[in-house]
A and B are shown apart, each in its own frame.
Chain A
Amino acid sequence: MNVYINSTGHFLPGKAVNNDEIEDVLGLIYGKKSRLKKRILKSNGIVQRHYAINNQQQTQISNSNMAANAGVSCIEKSFIPMSKIQMLSCATSQGDLVLPGFGSMVQAALNLPEVELHTTHGICSSSMMALKAAYTNIKCDDVDNALVIASELTSRLFKSSRYEQVESNKIDFNAEFLRWMLSDGAGALLLENRQRISGKSLQINWIKSFSNADVYPVCMTVGTAKNDVNNKTWQDYETYACAEKAGALLLRQDVRLLDNIVSVGVNGFLKLISQNYVRPDEIDHVLCHFSSKYFKSKIFDMLETAGISIPEHKWYTNLYERGNTGCASIFIMIDEFINTHDLKSGETIFCMVPESGRFNCAYMHLTVAG
């Protein structure tokens, strides 16, 4: 059974926030302006983003409601009503509730009857995991369609008050790094087992991912304190307040390990080439969820040397204007890409989602159906 992406949608909360306004929303830690902000923003190239919290750091819309809004915007442009959706597959790095699964909350928000439900949990690549589950479910003829939604509300982790709870009074670089990288938003894709006449049906040729958690230490975390050597995680503390005081609830990126994501991403790409999944010269468009301009040049360098680089004009991203919305980014990117490009039958799209969490990298190949 062939599987097609037949509609896409997204939701970005509130107005776009430019670089000068970030601290108006997230707050000043101990009333002081960040010294790192400028440097990190310069290297990631992001110029604006959206937040689901307001200037008082109050949540304006929940993660599950953002997901539902993206789902509605996707279905409104599709050929089927919401009531005909057979499977709902959702991804997030952190739902509004710890339990139940994020998908349950999104289903309720969408008022979807009797769907088969799937939730994936992880970081950037969790959307691709949710997409793969939906894709295989249609491919094996178990369902006719599936709505796949990825949504992130990370700004709640970046409120100034979070950092001020940490006992040591010192904010380490790794804990502040992502404050200037990530923002909120949701994206949705509708998958069906038949193509539509919209001219925007994209056949999914394959989805593959290679995880390297066996090789590298964890690189992006919530749940453990800085330099913890006892494998103590947030629930191991006597109280949650103790965990917060120890800094175990901050979102951290071990920036020293970050470089490894480049070789992990290129290695997977070379594996796909050697296994004949993809030929670089036959790729028309590349949509890559890279976290910064810095990675972009590194990836380009390595591929160029190997003679399998894809010319820069084929690369598309909206990361700089929509922000890095974690797992939602690739769906938001696909949505805007489809709606701003005059796609022709047979054109190919190569998607890549490297996740630095513990070094998983997901890839997808699409062909414009004709």
Chain B
Amino acid sequence: MENNLVLTEAGKRCLQMLLKVWLDFDLAITKVPIVQRLEQQRLSVEDYQKLLINMRQQVIEGSRWISRCASSFDRHYSDVRSSVIRHAQEEHKDYLLLEADYIATGGELSTIESGNKNIGSEALHGFLMYRATQPNPVDLIGAMWIIEGLGNKMAMKWAKLINEQFSFECKATAFMEYHGENDESHLQELYQLIDRLATSDKNITDIVRTAKVVAKLYQLQLQEVDNDN
């Protein structure tokens, strides 16, 4: 890994705290039953399908809050806006990969298309849209940190485990793996955003706070995969 990925002292302090939030989140979701089944290779095809259905709602909404987040940055943050727009552009059709994966597992397109947000997704989406509507939502860097981290975990760990467990005729883990591509450049962009925005104690506090809330709500979303609602 390159040196000095984060250049400013405040940025480093922020990154240090974000790393702690990520590691706590990583521990917390390791205890979520469906994640335990996945990581201990006790997942059923139905489980994987359920996971995809539940994630799809959040992925679709994901592109919306990032877009709104971009539009909430005023001209003083035009550079940030450019970066966030790029991010939104790259990911706003992720759900198509996810749907193709679902079909590859033997699921029907109509089933996944008619899925609803679970309780955790409702809370997560509601919070993200609310924050993204605020003027200059600097704190959402914290949300991107958690979601980017999870994308990396899905690509590096979950996709491999799923492919070891099942042998589908067509590739059924494109969505999870996709998040591993360009991973390094995404991380670089995030580091640059941290440098750019973690410029005051207040900003750092806000970024870390939002990372914690998003982590907790994402955990809830994963917990709710096992609940039919």
Across the interface, which residues of A come within 8 angstroms of B12, CB to CB? 306-308
Cβ-defined contact, B31 with A215, below 8 A: yes
* Chain A stretch 282-307: residues in CB contact (< 8 A) with chain B: 301-302, 304-307
What are 15 A-B pairs with beta-carbon distances under 8 A? A214-B31, A215-B31, A216-B30, A217-B40, A260-B30, A263-B26, A263-B27, A266-B23, A270-B20, A273-B16, A305-B19, A306-B19, A307-B6, A307-B9, A307-B12
Cβ-defined contact, B1 with A306, below 8 A: no
Across the interface, which residues of B come within 8 angstroms of A270, CB to CB? 16, 19-20, 23
CA distance A307 to B10 in the complex (A): 10
Given contacts A217-B40, A304-B3, A305-B1, contact A266 B19 (CB under 8 A): yes
Does A271 make an interface contact (CB < 8 A)? yes
A positions within 8 Å CB-CB of B: 212, 214-217, 260, 263-264, 266-267, 270-271, 273-274, 301-302, 304-308
Interface of B is mostly: helix
CA distance A270 to B17 in the complex (A): 8
Does B69 make an interface contact (CB < 8 A)? no
CA distance A318 to B170 in the complex (A): 50
CA distance A343 to B224 in the complex (A): 55
What's the count of A-B pairs with C-beta under 8 Å?
A: 48
Given contacts A263-B26, A271-B20, contact A307 B15 (CB under 8 A): yes
* Chain B stretch 1-50: residues in CB contact (< 8 A) with chain A: 1, 3, 5-6, 9, 11-13, 15-17, 19-20, 23-24, 26-27, 30-31, 40
Could you say which of A212, A273, A274, A302 contacts B27, with CB atoms under 8 Å apart? A212
Across the interface, which residues of A come within 8 angstroms of B17, CB to CB? 274
Across the interface, which residues of A come within 8 angstroms of B23, CB to CB? 263, 266-267, 270
Could you say which of B1, B3, B16, B40 contacts A308, with CB atoms under 8 Å apart? B16
Closest 7 CB pairs of A and B: A307-B12, A267-B23, A270-B20, A306-B16, A306-B19, A215-B30, A301-B1
CA distance A229 to B13 in the complex (A): 45
Could you say which of A214, A273, A305 contacts B15, with CB atoms under 8 Å apart? A305
Across the interface, which residues of A come within 8 angstroms of B9, CB to CB? 307
Cβ-defined contact, A307 with B16, below 8 A: yes
Cβ-defined contact, B13 with A304, below 8 A: no
Q: How far is the CB of A276 from chain B (nearest CB, A)?
A: 13
Q: How far is the CB of A190 from chain B (nearest CB, A)?
A: 36
CA distance A61 to B98 in the complex (A): 61
In the complex, the chain B residue whose C-beta lies closest to that of A273 is B16
Q: How far is the CB of B180 from chain A (nearest CB, A)?
A: 15
Query: Considering residues A264, A271, A306, A308, which has the most beta carbons from chain B within 10 angstroms of its beta carbon?
Result: A306
Cβ-defined contact, A306 with B15, below 8 A: yes
CA distance A301 to B5 in the complex (A): 11
CA distance A263 to B28 in the complex (A): 13
In the complex, the chain B residue whose C-beta lies closest to that of A217 is B40
